[in-house]
A = this chain, B = another copy of it.
Amino acid sequence: MSENVSVTFVDGDGKQTSRKVGRGSTFIDAAQDLNLDIAATCGGRGRCRSCRIKVLKGILPPPTIMDQVQLGPDEVHEGFRLSCQTKVIADCTVLVAPPIAEGGHKILGAGVSEDTQFHLDSGIEKKLVAANTPKDENHQTSDMEMILVALGEPVNGDVPIEVLRKAPDVIRAKGGSLTVTTFNHRVIDVEPGDTTRHKYGMAFDIGTTSIVGSLVDLETGEQLASVGGVNPQAVFGGDLMSRIAYAQFNPQALRKLRSRVLAEINGYVKEVCGNNNISAGHIYKMVIVGNTCMHHIFLGIDPTYVGLAPYAPTVREPVVVTAKEALLKVNPNARICFLPIVAGFVGADTVAAVLATRIHESDHIRVMVDIGTNGEVVMGTRGRLMACSAPAGPALEGAQIHHGMRGAVGAIEKVEIDGDVTCETIGGAPAVGICGSGLVDAAAKMLEAKVINPSGLLRRDGGEGLPEKIKARIVEGDNGWHFVLTWAKDTGKDEDIYLTQQDIRQLQLAKGAIYSGILMLQKVMGVADGDIEELMLAGGFGNYISTESSVAIRLLPNLPLEKIAYVGNAAALGAQMALLSETERRRATTLAREIEHVALATNPDFQEIFVKAVVFGDETKRKSRTRTRTKVG
């Protein structure tokens, strides 16, 4: 696993120092190995910006939340990173101690306004006050009035009942020394003594398959813990449509799905509180994102109609409920904030991803693609954003592929064809199957080696002109023609691992859906490939896929590779940003209203686009009139 990659550090004088480091090392560790001094004022905890670097060449590593907090989204976008937080993932060249914000705007182009700076303004404030108990019998006052007088700030007078219940004891417990917690100037808690340093929040991205979350210190912006796991609803339907089908017209099933995800989240809360020795009562804000179905289920809203044309949600506006309403075991008056939704299949997760990737602030066309069973594509620039959802199906997750599997140990994830086939597996274990990224890579290499042709047809002509060892791998078996990736005799396993003609077709349908989404938005917006400044791969799957192979098979458009970037779990990052900043949370609402939804399947141009998208290569190289139009659902 510890593959070596090459890092080159450039200092202010232009002097370069290179070395190989283990993939996954932080840049600061790599620099220290080279005896390069990078200041880490905060001790490498991501709480200052002294150790910043700027990536000059190579793949830009996805920004962490601390990058966002310390450097701001503009600098992050320009390639600035905290060397203590950022891991080396590929060969690259970085500038040590770059001057912050100088020349930065030249790269992106002008026009990123001042107000896009990321500020820590979570909305949660804690203040230690010294309150007197009511003393005068004549001009009577009340415990709560004395607390608010001591707070000395204008707050909404509407105090939650739980706070009123605590007030008489709290004002008397420590001689009137007490901490008032407010959310957007509304009192949500009072506690005896000084608890001001305990101010936490959590962000969650609830996906159909998996849940990821983080515990964040709302005072410093520091991420204290990350949690995650499989969405426990998965036993009731692996993909979105089967999840909806399970809950459809069945309130009891909905309750079951809801209680599962609630129990999971409450489990995470307990876990992070235990591990970090904090009280769940000190978690005052949560931001939750997820696709529309996960969003509705979490809130107990029937997702039935999300699954029926026109796939409309019940609510798109941002929903904010208290933790007690949401049945979450944090502070009862913690605000649980769901980001807004664009459409039934363009959910709060996509809005969060847009928030994190700043497409809306770009002067040039940028595209974000989240590859999944439902792939979301967002394309746009300052002033115009469009989104669509592409029903890729589960092929890219290994389902409906003869030897398909999820990305687990033994899954083929990389394929080379050079005289013969070489496969890399996850964990270096003997191959037991092929995962999505392996599938994309295999197809790309088979295409290059002319084992398949651009229309996806596996050669059955005896493989004339192919190397012998490749020729031998094209076999007719029980499942029709197939191409062997690993021989049983080489792996010691019971059977060969191969791709069938049918597997290739499944891949074509999946990648065709995603690419259709991109092509559709290009068409609607009038965007040529050359107009695209950057294409960002978001989501878990995006992290593993080879961009080169993705372009080769036209899962992605034919862009120069340097224009394609991995941006990690942008949805989770967006949720964290909205957690740490009410400005960002408000921005999400504006964004969701601005994003125009483009329906794919009902668009009159869809058939033509899909036929173009389903082939392994650009249509322009072939004669479009001769192709049969295939109806694919």
- Residues of B near A599 (CB, < 8 A) are 137-138
- Residues of B near A136 (CB, < 8 A) are 310
Residue in B closest to A300 when the chains form the complex, CB atoms: B165
Query: Does A143 sit at the interface, judged by CB under 8 A?
Result: yes
Query: Does A467 sit at the interface, judged by CB under 8 A?
Result: no
Oligomeric state, in number of copies? 2
List residues 413-429 of chain A with CB under 8 A from any CB of chain B. none
Query: Does A315 sit at the interface, judged by CB under 8 A?
Result: yes
- Residues of B near A311 (CB, < 8 A) are 137, 140
Interface string of A67-79 (1 = CB under 8 A from B): 0000000000000
Known: A168-B301, A319-B164. A144 touches B314 (CB 8 A): yes
Interface hit among A154-162, A280-288, A358-366, A367-375:
A154-162
Known: A137-B599, A599-B138. A299 touches B161 (CB 8 A): yes
Known: A164-B314, A165-B301, A315-B159. A309 touches B137 (CB 8 A): yes
Residue in contact with A597 in the complex, picked from B140, B164, B169, B310, CB distance below 8 Å: B140
- B301, A164: Cβ atoms closer than 8 Å: yes
- B320, A602: Cβ atoms closer than 8 Å: no
Query: Does A343 sit at the interface, judged by CB under 8 A?
Result: yes
Residue in B closest to A589 when the chains form the complex, CB atoms: B157
- Residues of B near A134 (CB, < 8 A) are 310, 312
- Residues of B near A168 (CB, < 8 A) are 301-302, 304-305, 314
Query: Does A407 sit at the interface, judged by CB under 8 A?
Result: no
- Residues of B near A250 (CB, < 8 A) are none
- A161, B305: Cβ atoms closer than 8 Å: no
List residues 598-612 of chain A with CB under 8 A from any CB of chain B. 598-599, 602-603
- Residues of B near A301 (CB, < 8 A) are 164-165, 167-168
- Residues of B near A343 (CB, < 8 A) are 140
Shortest distance from the beta carbon of A213 to any chain B beta carbon, whole Å: 21
| Cα(A285)–Cα(B33), bound, Å | 70
Shortest distance from the beta carbon of A162 to any chain B beta carbon, whole Å: 9
| Cα(A467)–Cα(B535), bound, Å | 113
With most chain B CB atoms within 10 A of its CB, the pick from A138, A169, A172, A317 is A138
- Residues of B near A309 (CB, < 8 A) are 137
- Residues of B near A161 (CB, < 8 A) are 299-300, 319, 321, 325
Known: A310-B135, A312-B134. A140 touches B317 (CB 8 A): no
List residues 574-614 of chain A with CB under 8 A from any CB of chain B. 596-599, 602-603
- A316, B141: Cβ atoms closer than 8 Å: yes
Known: A138-B599, A597-B138. A164 touches B299 (CB 8 A): yes
- Residues of B near A158 (CB, < 8 A) are 320
With most chain B CB atoms within 10 A of its CB, the pick from A137, A144, A168, A302 is A137
Residue in contact with A316 in the complex, picked from B142, B320, B325, CB distance below 8 Å: B142
Query: Does A31 sit at the interface, judged by CB under 8 A?
Result: no
Query: Does A133 sit at the interface, judged by CB under 8 A?
Result: yes
Known: A305-B168, A316-B145. A140 touches B300 (CB 8 A): no
- Residues of B near A321 (CB, < 8 A) are 161
Query: Does A517 sit at the interface, judged by CB under 8 A?
Result: no
- A342, B140: Cβ atoms closer than 8 Å: yes
List residues 339-383 of chain A with CB under 8 A from any CB of chain B. 341-344
- B144, A312: Cβ atoms closer than 8 Å: no
- Residues of B near A319 (CB, < 8 A) are 161, 164
Interface string of A27-43 (1 = CB under 8 A from B): 00000000000000000
Residue in contact with A312 in the complex, picked from B143, B299, B304, B603, CB distance below 8 Å: B143
Query: Does A398 sit at the interface, judged by CB under 8 A?
Result: no
| Cα(A164)–Cα(B299), bound, Å | 9
Shortest distance from the beta carbon of A199 to any chain B beta carbon, whole Å: 24
Known: A158-B320, A310-B134, A316-B145. A302 touches B140 (CB 8 A): no
- Residues of B near A344 (CB, < 8 A) are 140
Shortest distance from the beta carbon of A189 to any chain B beta carbon, whole Å: 15
- B139, A317: Cβ atoms closer than 8 Å: no
| Cα(A100)–Cα(B314), bound, Å | 52
Residue in B closest to A303 when the chains form the complex, CB atoms: B168
| Cα(A167)–Cα(B165), bound, Å | 33
Shortest distance from the beta carbon of A103 to any chain B beta carbon, whole Å: 41
Shortest distance from the beta carbon of A402 to any chain B beta carbon, whole Å: 34
Shortest distance from the beta carbon of A139 to any chain B beta carbon, whole Å: 7
Query: Does A207 sit at the interface, judged by CB under 8 A?
Result: no
Residue in B closest to A600 when the chains form the complex, CB atoms: B137
- Residues of B near A164 (CB, < 8 A) are 299, 301, 314-315, 319
- A140, B299: Cβ atoms closer than 8 Å: no
With most chain B CB atoms within 10 A of its CB, the pick from A312, A598, A603 is A312
Shortest distance from the beta carbon of A486 to any chain B beta carbon, whole Å: 44
| Cα(A140)–Cα(B135), bound, Å | 59
Shortest distance from the beta carbon of A121 to any chain B beta carbon, whole Å: 21
With most chain B CB atoms within 10 A of its CB, the pick from A142, A313, A316 is A142
With most chain B CB atoms within 10 A of its CB, the pick from A139, A341, A598, A602 is A139
- A144, B317: Cβ atoms closer than 8 Å: yes
- A169, B302: Cβ atoms closer than 8 Å: yes
- Residues of B near A143 (CB, < 8 A) are 305, 312-315
| Cα(A292)–Cα(B164), bound, Å | 14
| Cα(A137)–Cα(B161), bound, Å | 43
Can you list 24 A-B contacts (CB < 8 A)? A133-B312, A137-B310, A137-B311, A137-B597, A138-B598, A139-B597, A141-B316, A142-B313, A142-B314, A142-B315, A144-B314, A144-B315, A144-B317, A145-B315, A145-B316, A159-B315, A159-B317, A161-B299, A161-B321, A164-B301, A164-B314, A165-B302, A168-B301, A168-B302
Given contacts A140-B344, A164-B315, list 6 more A-B pairs with CB under 8 A.
Answer: A137-B599, A143-B315, A144-B316, A158-B320, A164-B299, A165-B301
When A and B form their complex, which 8 residue pairs have the shortest distance between CB atoms, in order from nearest?
A134-B312, A137-B599, A140-B343, A137-B310, A143-B314, A142-B316, A142-B313, A144-B315
